[in-house]
Each structure stands twice: as structure tokens, then as C-alpha cells.
Amino acid sequence: MQTVTKNISELKRPDKNVRLHGDRQIKEYIRSIEMFGQIRPLVIDENNIVLAGNGLLTALIQMERETADCYVVTNLSEKQKKKLMLVDNKIFELGVNDGNTFDEILRELDGDIDIPGYDEELLKILTASTNKADEIISSYGTYSKESIDYMKNAESQTPQPQVPIPQSQSPTQENTPPQIETPQSSQKYIVCPKCGEKIWL
């Protein structure tokens, strides 16, 4: 496969792109390019329309790159170009990781787990000893004392929501939890005095 270098300013987006690229994916693309360079070409047609690699193109643009490596496909019908766009996004999803090989490669990295696309905290757990993994997992989701104090302080300053009293409720029922009947059922709820959420009974 022969690639050519194209000015990014010459490249065009397709009218429709089936794949949406979130901020996290673009960020990981950028990390990958910074580590290894552009390791796969953009696939373009003879009119410089990007058929595969639009997320990669976004990352290159955000990095203010002026050129990109491209593979030019020619003599495809418009229908074939659309199929190629679908193929590029789907075939990769059909594969699965071999868990044993994945673990072996992680161990061979000997703690160097800065890998674009992967959650570093998860990789730490996967590569940790049993005791260390237990320590990481047990601390997962815990808050520092400063965070707890901050949340308590914010909670005490939050105005308490007013609990609505249904019209059908008589004045003698003011101290009972409010009730409501939904069109589908006769479930009842109360309003949480702290967050204002409905709690169904």
C-alpha cells in the first residue's frame, strides 16, 4: 500500500459520517500521535474526501499539523465509498481481546502503563500484586476528609425544598408524607428534604 502526504487544508469531510468522535477519543488519538506519530493513513478518494479516519483527522487538526499521510482509493462508485465507510467502522468491533495475552503483555511492560486509550487506574489494578490490588480496590470511590467536609458544608447551606401538598390532602394531614397517584399505578412518593428528589414508596 502506497501512501502520499497531503496538506490537511486540501482534505474534505464526507457529507455524512457514521462515527461520532467524543472529546476523550480525540484526546487519546493526540496522545497516541505524540507517542508514535501517525501510524495509520487517512483513507481518501480521488477528490480528497476522507472515507476513513475522520477522528484521526480531527486530532491532527487540533494538533495544528499541516500534513497527513493518506491512502488514496480510486475508481469506487458512490455506493462503494459509502460501504467502505461502514466497513471501516464495523470490522474492528468484531474482534475481542485475548485476556491471557493481554495480561502477559501488561506484565512485560514492567509497570510502564502509560498507554493511550486505556484507563491507567484500571491498568494499575490489572498489573498489581494481590495485596496491592486489594488496597487500590478498597480505596476506590472513597472521599478525603476535605471532600467530606466540603460536601457537608454545601449541604447545610442548600435551601430545603418546599414539599408540595396535593390538593386532595386535608389540613389535618399536613404532617404526613405527600402522596400522588400516577396514571399507571397508585404508587406513592415523598420528596427528599435534602435533594428534592421524589422517592417512590
The domain locations on the chain are 4-94, 99-139, 160-200
98-125: b or e for each residue (b if 16 or more CB lie within 10 Å)?
eeeeeeeebeeeeeebebeeeeeeebee
Cβ within 8 Å of residue 109, ≥6 positions away: 127
Q: Which CATH number fits domain 4-94: 3.90.1530.10, 3.30.70.890, 3.10.450.50, 3.10.180.10?
A: 3.90.1530.10
Model pLDDT for residues 125-141, shown as the tens digit of each residue: 777 654 555 555 566 56
pLDDT at 95: 83
Higher pLDDT, 170 or 67: 67
Q: Which of 22-26, 105-109, 116-120 has the highest mean pLDDT?
A: 22-26
pLDDT at 125: 77
Higher pLDDT, 13 or 92: 13
Cα dist. 77→48, 49, 73, 85, 88 in Å? 15, 13, 11, 13, 17
Q: Are 62 and 23 in contact (CB under 8 A)?
A: no
How far apart (Å, rounded) are the C-alpha atoms in residues 187 and 199?
10
Please say if the pLDDT value at position 181 is more than 60. no
CB atoms near residue 31 (< 10 Å): 15
Q: State pTM to two decimals.
A: 0.60
